[in-house]
Amino acid sequence: MSKDICQIRLIVGLGNVGSEYDHTRHNIGYDLLTKLCDKFSVTLTPEAKFSGLTGRGKIADSEVRFIFPTTYMNESGRAVGALATFFKIKPEEILVLHDDLDLEPGFMKLKFAGGLAGHNGLRSITKCLANSQNYYRLRLGIGKPPSKDVISWVLGRPNSADQNKIDDAYQTAIIGIEMLFTQGVSKATALINGFKPN
């Protein structure tokens, strides 16, 4: 097996729980997670001890767990930390899918470790992983708000043009995530980071 092949054991989709948050910009990570689960025939079910919706399936020949923390964004780490501790999953075996203000809609970046860019979900996860930032992130662009009202922006829904770009990105993201397991980090990163929406 190539040393570049990624040993991801847990994929996390960030967002807020509740119908009022469905398909908002802040829930873009969860939306991608649900599409991944559809692709790999994974069913997410509530699991109280992990404070989230969890599932298990296979990508290529690797067993992977999936979680959507139902704690609200700012407490996402409670769910991730509990599941990672229980199944002895290391930070470097985790991939977090999340929204990113610094990327335009439809653009993505796959990266390992690094800063938190003011993202409260990542901050909570880092804290609950013994302050380790050594996990993978798939940053999904939502663009910057036209005004300084960031909260209303992230909790709002994209317009149809932006949503079309995001939907296109999801398809490439799913291919790229599978490539992590089959062709390695370098090729997956090149595909995801090189994607440009129409």
74 assigned ligand-binding residue:
yes
Strands 62-69 and 10-13: parallel
- Which amino acid does the sequence have at 39? K
170 assigned ligand-binding residue:
no
Q: Tell me the C-alpha distance between 158 and 184, whole Å.
A: 32
26 is annotated as an active-site residue = yes
The catalytic residue among 23, 26, 98, 119 is: 26
Burial class (CB in 10 A: 0-12, 13-18, 19+), 186: exposed
198 assigned ligand-binding residue:
no
- Residue 58 CB partners (closer than 8 Å, separation 6+): 40, 64
- Of 109, 113, 167, 168, which is closest to residue 139 (Cα–Cα)? 109
Annotated binding site for tRNA: 21, 72, 74, 120
Annotated binding site: 21, 72, 74, 120
List the catalytic residues: 26
